[in-house]
Amino acid sequence: MLGPALPCDVLVVGGGPAGATAARLLALWGRDVVLVARPEAPSADLPEALTPSCRKFFDLLGMSPAVDAAGFVASTGHTVWWGGATRVEPFDGGRHGWQVTSRALARLMLDAAVEAGVRVVRGGLTTEEVLAWPARYRVDASGRAGVLARPLGGRRYESGHRTVALVGRWRRDDPWPVPDPTHTLLESYGDGWAWSVPIDASTRALAVMVDPRTTALARGDGATAIYAAEIAKTVHLARVFAGAQALDGPSGWDASMYVADRITGEAWLLAGDAASVVDPLSSAGARKAMASGWQVAAALNTALGAPGMADVALRCHGTRERETYRRFLALTRRFNAQGAPAAHPFWMDRAGDDADEGADDAPAVHAVFEKLKAADAITLSLAPDVTVEPRPAWRERDIVLEPRLVTPLVPDGVRYSGPVDVVLLAGLAPASRQVPDLFDKYVERAGPTPLPEFLTALSTAVARRWLIGL
Ligand SMILES: Cc1cc2nc3c(=O)[nH]c(=O)nc-3n(C[C@H](O)[C@H](O)[C@H](O)COP(=O)(O)OP(=O)(O)OC[C@H]3O[C@@H](n4cnc5c(N)ncnc54)[C@H](O)[C@@H]3O)c2cc1C
């Protein structure tokens, strides 16, 4: 039973990676935080792969030693049977990820939140209770439940990405017949894909991802029969799991993608899966949730410290969250396009190329580079439709306004091209007649900068028509 509503700066609902990250960071930065999390449910424990890039967040949170000591399987990469190709992919640079379960990870992260001074209350809140809570800001980090996201956010499901994951745990006493037992395994087949992660040396989870509209699930067939039938469609995973003992499952998990129309509102913000969900194919849900929690913490730290910046700070979180979702959607579509072993609706609905994603202007940049090299003199000026305007930028703890080059195509503005500050570059360029002179002036103001990166940034600025007149 939940006690009386505790007044606080920030109420966080949900104790998963998003909520725990936001709460711990805000508390470390001196804010008064209450986090309400439902009690652990044994049925809601999902094995998950965390990629090495999560290290950055564990470091930021000061949790790396605790994560390394938690006894998770250290994964060294992926083994992938995708679209007919086999790839055994170690992570770059000998780094490792972690094979966790959602409950073990949440427990670790909640302990860290408590240690930072967050007041954690166990219980479930209704939308009305969240809105009435005596807090200056409310964060919905309640995942798919979306205690504020559903009534206020306008959840928009990605058409063609309705996916149900059927997950079971399996055991074998002899070694698993795989190239590396710590690896995440992925296999695409005619109308779905399957995924497996180790839980410990002898136990693995095996999930099949199916479309509830096109499989027997829609006819109400039993999940157990469908699970077995889907596994039988795989070639490699069926071999890996032949002779293994099924321990439990399958349990069904909604894995459909969506994004909220409104990610922030009057003194509320959505974080993690409450705001948007990316395909589990990416193995990035927890990392994205931690990034989202960090953004929320920086936005609220700003809003609490400088109320005049509150609107800008909250909007900045919304913009970044949407941008992250769009990037993952494009990646998923491209990866699905490679995975499709057959022209089945499962794949046709999920595959595609995002026309403007990764638009490659390298040839144009190279052409300008050659022109700059051959030019006796330069006469550059800011293009008439490009302005220098303040735009919000995310620092570790705060959202600040910084000058950016704003163009009709990039209304959020650009500050850097590689390591080069293009706002400074654009300010210096009109007064320089020679590239070496411009480089010297730039280095004088910005500090040591590698010449190749400088030339690439200058070529990019001209190729994208931020600077004209070469
Ligand atoms: C099949 C599948 C496989 C996946 N595999 C991976 C993977 O390999 N790697 C990876 O990184 N991610 C994976 N994910 C995604 C990952 O699980 C989520 O993206 C991540 O947990 C989101 O974190 P969150 O904090 O936003 O939400 P959650 O982790 O869902 O946490 C929300 C919390 O809020 C609580 N809550 C809900 N309602 C209320 C309420 N009213 N009051 C109080 N508390 C409430 C819930 O009990 C829960 O504890 C997978 C997801 C699925 C479905």
Query: Would you call 272 helix, strand, or coil by DSSP?
Result: helix
Contacts of 448 (CB under 8 A, 6+ apart): none
- Rounded to 5 degrees, φ, ψ at 400 are -125, 165
Distance 126 CA to ligand 1 centre (A): 18
Burial of 216 (0-12, 13-18, 19+ CB in 10 A): middle
Distance CA 436, CA 425 (A): 13
DSSP 96-116: -EEEEEHHHHHHHHHHHHHHT
Q: How far is the CA of 390 from the centre of ligand 1 (A)?
A: 35
Q: What's the rounded Cα separation, in Å, for the pair 368 and 122?
A: 60
Bridge-based pairing state of the strands 135-140 and 192-198:
unpaired
Separation of alpha carbons 275 and 271, rounded Å: 5
Residue 357's pLDDT is: 45
Ligand 1: atom nearest CA of 124 is 42
- The pLDDT value recorded for residue 76 is 96
Q: 0.85 cut: is pTM over it?
A: yes
> In angstroms, what CA-CA distances link 385 with 64, 365, 388, 432, 464?
47, 20, 10, 21, 12
DSSP state string for 210-233: E-TTTSGGGGT--HHHHHHHHHHH
Q: Of 11, 38, 110, which is best to mutate to test ligand 1, by the most ligand atoms within 8 angstroms of its C-beta?
A: 38
* 3 state DSSP class of 241: helix
Mutational test site, ligand 1, from 46, 155, 230, max ligand atoms within 8 Å of CB: 46
- pLDDT reported for residue 214: 65
**CB burial string 415-454: b at 16+ within 10 A, e below:** eebeebbbbbbbbbbeebeebeebbebbeeeeeebeeeeb
Nearest-5° Cα angle at 278, 410 to 94: 95
Residue among 425, 418, 420 nearest 448 (CA): 420
Atom number, ligand 1, closest to the C-alpha of residue 253: 53
The first and second tokens of residue 10, run together, are: 């920030």
Burial 364-401 (b: 16+ CB within 10 A, else e): ebeebbeebeeeeebebebbeebeeeebbbbeeebbbe
Retrieve residue 318's tokens: 């919304």
Kindly list the averaged pLDDT for each block of 10 residues, start to end, along the chain of length 470.
86 98 98 96 87 96 96 95 90 94 96 98 96 98 97 92 92 95 94 94 95 65 87 96 94 94 97 94 92 97 97 95 92 81 72 56 92 91 96 91 93 93 96 95 96 95 93
Mutate-to-test residue for ligand 1 from 273, 276, 290, highest number of ligand atoms within 8 A of CB: 273
Q: Please name the residue whose Cα sits nearest to atom 37 of ligand 1.
A: 142
Which atom of ligand 1 is closest in space to residue 126's alpha carbon?
A: 41
User: What spacing in Å lies between the alpha carbon of 374 and ligand 1's midpoint?
Assistant: 56
- Protein residue with its CA nearest to atom 35 in ligand 1: 14
Query: What domains does the chain contain, in order, with CATH numbers?
Result: 8-72+96-157+257-350 (3.50.50.60), 164-254 (3.30.9.100), 362-468 (no CATH)
Find the 10 Cα to ligand 1 centroid distance in Å: 20
Ligand 1 atom, smallest distance to 19 CA: 25
Which atom of ligand 1 lies closest to the CA of 277?
A: 19
* 185: its two tokens: 């395994």
Ligand 1 atom 29: the closest Cα is on which residue?
16
Atom number in ligand 1 closest to CA 123: 43
Which helix (H) or strand (E) element contains residue 283?
Answer: none
Q: Is 252 helix (H, G, I), strand (E, B) or coil?
A: strand
pLDDT for residue 217? 62
Please tell me the distance between residue 286's alpha carbon and the centre of ligand 1 in angstroms.
8
C-alpha 273 to ligand 1 mean position (Å): 6
Number of other CB atoms surrounding residue 138 within 10 Å: 22
What residues have CB less than 8 Å from 65, skipping those under 6 apart?
Answer: none
Q: Give bridge partners of residue 49 from the DSSP assignment.
A: 99
- Residues near ligand 1 (Cβ within 6 A): 13-19, 36-38, 46, 48-50, 102, 106, 124-125, 141-143, 145, 147, 165, 207, 253, 255, 272-273, 280, 283-287, 289
Ligand 1 atom having least distance to the Cα of 254: 53
What pLDDT sits at residue 220? 54
Compute the distance from residue 37 Cα to the ligand 1 centre, in Å: 12
Query: 274 C-alpha vs ligand 1 centroid, how far in Å?
Result: 9
The SS3 call for residue 465 is coil
CA of residue 202 to ligand 1 center, whole Å: 25
For ligand 1, atom 50, which residue shows the shortest CA distance? Answer: 280
Instruction: Give residue 16 CA to ligand 1 midpoint distance, Å.
Output: 6
Question: d(Cα 20, Cα 12) in Å, to the nearest integer?
Answer: 8
The owner of tokens 């954690």 is 120
Ligand 1 probe mutation, 11, 101, 102, 128, most atoms within 8 A of CB: 102
CA of 215 to the centre of ligand 1 (A): 25
**According to the model, what pLDDT value does residue 46 have?**
93
Compute the distance between CA of residue 42 and CA of residue 72 in angstroms, rounded to an integer: 18
